[in-house]
């Protein structure tokens, strides 16, 4: 079943990569610009100068330099197809290209650009190929753990602090192993920062775990019962998965905000994440506006791929939701089963006590013990059901919502482009009118405006193409991740089922001779 084996990353990846490289100028430059100290949205290479206006830093000369060297590097790049991203060069000693030196892209970009203009694009090419390859292999050398939830403070101002431990050999981090304390709103803050930077250009930013007022209140109030410990555990696991997904994304990994989150001991409190803050209300208003807009935008979809994918995601969303409901029902019933088994075990023990035939009495007590152990088994299985299966599904349901959001951004981008085109047309008409009316000063103004809007139209078009490309890549990556994720988790889950069966066999085998011994 060749279809089931993922294509070996190295060999087959090449030809396609090569083609893509030609078109990939945009991403090429964009990655470079992200390699700089603060991420800017990916801009097409052809007009680097004007386009970075919207973003914070984009050294324009840098990109121009790189452009010239691009062609040469394509030849180079095809020879070295390795599984490493630029950041991982320190690890990969067998790096064939001499031009590439181990370097943290962010800190050293400026000097590098001057001295080794070759290297940055090489890095980029590698990262382009790697992006595909890494999706196949789990080679990100960074491990994140979220552990030790601790309650800090008291009363309604209390919060849970989680320890975020990072183990990595990536050189962009100052140490190889470090940990910090973070609270839930910090995670939300991280997500909102990443989302504001990347979502509208088409990157699928993994969604953060949801807030839960009820759960948190219980914890704050200090109820030390099993439901609040469960809640904390559920949240901890969700936060861990969130971070792991985020660092798996090659672009997001390089984001300085993420690095700051992982590394710095003090983080400014993210107040904007509170539901009732000004930012929160603004978010809600925006969401409503978006929803209305979505209904009114009627896009001419020129690319069937997008339509197809959107439909696919809709279907997938629905099916995952259905599956999720069934799995939650299973978790619920298994918990019930566990409780009932425990009750029965006690009852059987009592029965054994009152039975006056000694052998039978002993057998009944043994039965009670077996059932108690089985109850434990059921509980563990319920945990497995939940943490592996059910949470995976809910994570993916939320991820798909993010994917849909990205598609929506593309639509908005298209809308902007359309609007720019319409405005340009109007401006041209206005100019024509001016020509006829022969008002020289107004004509000049009109011409200026036309030029301005022409630029905007071109920008809009480029943005649109950019976002479309990014989305294609992201969706491809997402699909691969999804396949991997599901396979891994489901296999783990099946393994847990196997273990349960093995244990069951052991218990009943122990009981059988006891039952036979009743005389």
Q: Which of 271, 297, 350, 435 binds other proteins (CB under 8 A)?
A: 350
Question: 76 to each of 69, 71, 207, how far by Cα in Å?
Answer: 11, 9, 38
Q: Which of 91, 237, 299, 515 binds other proteins (CB under 8 A)?
A: 515
Angle between the 358-384 and 304-354 helix axes, to the nearest 10 degrees? 160
* Nearer Cβ to other proteins (53/354): 354
User: What does 479-491 look like in DSSP terms, one character per residue?
Assistant: HHHHHHHHHHHHH
Question: 279 to each of 38, 114, 151, 286, how far by Cα in Å?
Answer: 23, 42, 27, 10
CB of 324 to other proteins, least distance (A): 9
CB of 338 to other proteins, least distance (A): 9
Question: Where in 284-343 is the site for other proteins (CB under 8 A)?
Answer: 312, 315-316, 319-320, 322-323, 326-327, 329-330, 333-334, 336-337, 340-341, 343
User: What span, in angstroms and rounded, lies between the C-alpha atoms of 193 and 272?
Assistant: 10
Tell me which H or E stretch contains 163.
Answer: strand 159-168
Residue 361: helix, strand or coil by DSSP?
helix
User: What span, in angstroms and rounded, lies between the C-alpha atoms of 121 and 32?
Assistant: 8
Cβ 364 vs Cβ 355: under 8 Å? yes
Beta bridge partners of residue 168, listed in sequence order: 142
CB of 38 to other proteins, least distance (A): 36
Mode of pairing for the β-strands spanning 177-183 and 142-152: unpaired
Structure tokens at 398: 């939320």
CB of 313 to other proteins, least distance (A): 12
Question: Which residue's entry shows tokens 């009852």?
Answer: 347
What count of other Cβ atoms lies within 10 Å of the Cβ of residue 343?
12
Q: Report if residue 151 touches other proteins, rule: CB under 8 A.
A: no
Question: Where in 469-498 is the site for other proteins (CB under 8 A)?
Answer: 479, 482-484, 486-487, 490-491, 494-495, 497-498
208 Cα distance to chain centroid: 9
Residue 31: helix, strand or coil by DSSP?
helix
Q: Report if residue 390 touches other proteins, rule: CB under 8 A.
A: no
* Nearer Cβ to other proteins (264/318): 318
Q: Select the span of 111-119, 143-151, 345-353, 420-428 touching other proteins (CB under 8 A).
A: 345-353
Question: Where in 358-377 is the site for other proteins (CB under 8 A)?
Answer: 359-360, 363-364, 367
* Nearer Cβ to other proteins (221/329): 329
Structure tokens at 268: 């400014």
CB of 518 to other proteins, least distance (A): 4
CB of 362 to other proteins, least distance (A): 11
* Nearer Cβ to other proteins (3/276): 3
DSSP assignment letter at 389: I
Size of the site for other proteins (CB under 8 A): 62
DSSP assignment letter at 357: S
Q: Report if residue 137 touches other proteins, rule: CB under 8 A.
A: no
Q: Which of 4, 79, 154, 441 binds other proteins (CB under 8 A)?
A: 4
Q: Report if residue 230 touches other proteins, rule: CB under 8 A.
A: no
Structure tokens at 371: 């059932």
Contacting residues toward other proteins, per CB under 8 A? 1, 3-6, 312, 315-316, 319-320, 322-323, 326-327, 329-330, 333-334, 336-337, 340-341, 343-344, 346-348, 350-351, 353-357, 359-360, 363-364, 367, 479, 482-484, 486-487, 490-491, 494-495, 497-498, 501-502, 504-505, 508-509, 511-512, 515-516, 518
């Amino acid at each position: 079943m060749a279809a089931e084996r993922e294509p070996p990353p190295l060999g087959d990846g090449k030809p396609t990569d090569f083609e893509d490289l030609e078109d990939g100028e945009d991403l090429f430059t964009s990655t470079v610009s992200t390699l700089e100290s603060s991420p800017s949205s990916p801009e097409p290479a052809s007009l680097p100068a004007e386009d970075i206006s919207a973003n914070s830093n984009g050294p324009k000369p840098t990109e121009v330099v790189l452009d010239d060297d691009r062609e040469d590097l394509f030849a180079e790049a095809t020879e070295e197809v390795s599984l490493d991203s630029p950041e991982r060069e320190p690890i990969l000693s067998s790096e064939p290209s001499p031009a590439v030196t181990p370097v943290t892209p962010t800190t050293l970009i400026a000097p590098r650009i001057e001295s080794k203009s070759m290297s940055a694009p090489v890095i980029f090419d590698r990262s382009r190929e790697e992006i595909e390859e890494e999706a196949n292999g789990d080679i990100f050398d960074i491990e994140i753990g979220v552990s030790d939830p601790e309650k800090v403070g008291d009363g309604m101002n209390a919060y849970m602090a989680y320890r975020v431990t990072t183990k990595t050999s990536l050189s962009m981090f100052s140490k190889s192993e470090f940990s910090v304390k973070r609270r839930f709103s910090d995670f939300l803050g991280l997500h909102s920062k990443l989302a504001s930077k990347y979502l509208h250009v088409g990157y699928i930013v993994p969604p953060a775990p949801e807030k839960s007022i009820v759960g948190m209140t219980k914890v704050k109030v200090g109820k030390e019962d099993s439901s609040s410990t469960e809640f904390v555990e559920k949240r901890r696991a969700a936060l861990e998965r969130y971070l792991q997904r985020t660092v798996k994304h090659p672009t997001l990994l390089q984001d300085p905000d993420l690095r700051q989150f992982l590394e710095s001991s003090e983080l400014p409190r993210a107040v904007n994440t509170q539901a009732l803050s000004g930012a929160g209300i603004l978010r809600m208003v925006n969401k409503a506006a978006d929803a209305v807009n979505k209904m009114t935008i009627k896009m001419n979809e020129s690319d069937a791929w997008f339509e197809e994918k959107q439909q696919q995601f809709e279907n997938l969303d629905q099916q995952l939701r259905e599956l999720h409901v069934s799995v939650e029902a299973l978790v619920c019933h298994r918990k019930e089963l566990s409780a009932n088994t425990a009750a029965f075990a006690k009852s059987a023990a009592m029965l054994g006590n009152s039975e006056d035939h000694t052998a039978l009495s002993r057998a009944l007590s043994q039965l009670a013990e077996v059932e108690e152990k089985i109850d434990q088994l059921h509980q563990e299985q319920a945990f497995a059901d939940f943490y592996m299966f059910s949470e995976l599904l809910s994570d993916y349901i939320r991820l798909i919502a993010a994917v849909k959001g990205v598609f929506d951004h593309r639509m908005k981008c298209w809308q902007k482009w359309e609007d720019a085109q319409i405005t340009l047309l109007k401006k041209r008409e206005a100019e024509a009118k001016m020509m006829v009316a022969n008002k020289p000063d107004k004509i000049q103004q009109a011409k200026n405006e036309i030029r301005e809007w022409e630029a905007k139209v071109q920008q809009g078009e480029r943005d649109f193409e950019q976002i479309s490309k990014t989305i294609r890549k992201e969706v491809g990556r997402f699909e691969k991740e999804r396949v991997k994720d599901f396979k891994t988790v489901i296999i783990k889950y099946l393994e847990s089922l196997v273990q349960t069966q093995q244990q069951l066999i052991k218990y009943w085998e122990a009981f059988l001779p006891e039952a036979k011994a009743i005389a």
